[in-house]
């Protein structure tokens, strides 16, 4: 993938070992980094799960792991930038924990949080949860809502959350059909409605949902054009890493019409 001077950033990746169900060891972490760089990725936000399932994960453990991997990448001469972060499970104590520096925000900026969207339920009082996070001055990026079975049936809830200021990160393989045709079609629909702001690999290993974005970017370009794809893969994540919310076009209630060639491309990719 030739990106020229563009800085492609993978916003969601389980590249750190021993913390969750991602990379099994340091060798896998280094190999994931090598694969990402070969695909044209310049930076990865390291996002291990932060949830009761992994009670030992916190800001300190993740930051230490990021530093260890940075050292190993220098030794391996792999030019990949790493940014600390976490994928947080929805919890009523998150807002206070982030402000107290217990939980790790994106790039440790205390401005942006990656929140995991469950696949099999709509969290109760989610609007109130969003407000509680935003009232602490923290913006929400919602991870992989395209896989949620209930949102696929009723898009209005996600539309409402976006109108509240929530940003959406979808998974690269969802755009390419890795989660099935139904999820892929729904993700394309989100793109057409300007409801996708970031893409992440959500990689868990060198081969298990690997850390590549080029195929997904080709799909995004075919649906919304190269300029919008550049924002999704480069500009938006870089803004968020700096603690700034990018300027986002409002979501469309109805999708924009696509050309015949676009429909042919996306049906085959």
pLDDT in tens, 34-51: 999 999 999 999 999 999
CATH number of domain containing 118? 3.20.20.140
CA-to-CA distance for 80 and 36, rounded, in angstroms?
Answer: 8
In the chain, % of residues over pLDDT 90: 83
Residue 3 inside a domain? The answer is no
Residue 1 inside a domain? The answer is no
Residue 102 inside a domain? The answer is yes
Q: Is the pLDDT of residue 120 over 50?
A: yes
**Containing structural domain, residue 86:** 8-268
Mean predicted lDDT score pLDDT of the chain: 91
State how many domains the chain has.
1
258 — pLDDT class (breaks 50, 70, 90): low
Please report the pLDDT score of residue 256 as a whole number. Answer: 55
Q: What is the mean pLDDT of residues 247-262?
A: 71
């Amino acid at each position: 993938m030739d990106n020229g001077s563009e800085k492609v950033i993978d916003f969601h990746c389980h590249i750190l070992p021993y913390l969750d169900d991602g990379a099994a060891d340091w060798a896998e972490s280094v190999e994931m980094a090598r694969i990402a760089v070969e695909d044209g990725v310049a930076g990865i936000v390291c996002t291990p799960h932060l949830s009761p399932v992994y009670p030992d994960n916190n800001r300190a453990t993740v930051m230490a792991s990021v530093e260890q991997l940075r050292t190993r990448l220098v030794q391996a001469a792999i030019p990949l930038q790493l940014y600390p972060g976490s994928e947080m499970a929805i919890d009523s104590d998150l807002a206070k924990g982030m402000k107290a520096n217990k939980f790790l925000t994106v790039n440790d900026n205390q401005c942006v949080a990656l929140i995991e969207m469950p696949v099999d339920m709509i969290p109760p009082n989610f609007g109130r949860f969003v407000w509680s996070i935003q009232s602490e001055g923290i913006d929400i990026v919602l991870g992989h809502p395209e896989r949620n079975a209930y949102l696929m049936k009723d898009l209005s809830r996600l539309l409402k959350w976006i109108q509240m200021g929530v940003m959406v990160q979808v998974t690269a393989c969802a755009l390419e059909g890795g989660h099935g045709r139904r999820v892929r079609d729904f993700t394309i629909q989100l793109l057409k409605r300007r409801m996708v702001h970031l893409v992440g690999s959500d990689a868990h290993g060198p081969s298990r949902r690997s850390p590549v974005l080029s195929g997904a970017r080709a799909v995004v370009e075919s649906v919304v054009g190269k300029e919008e794809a550049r924002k999704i893969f480069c500009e938006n994540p870089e803004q968020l890493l700096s603690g700034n919310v990018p300027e986002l076009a409002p979501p469309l209630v109805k999708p924009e019409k696509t050309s015949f060639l676009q429909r042919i491309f996306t049906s085959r990719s």
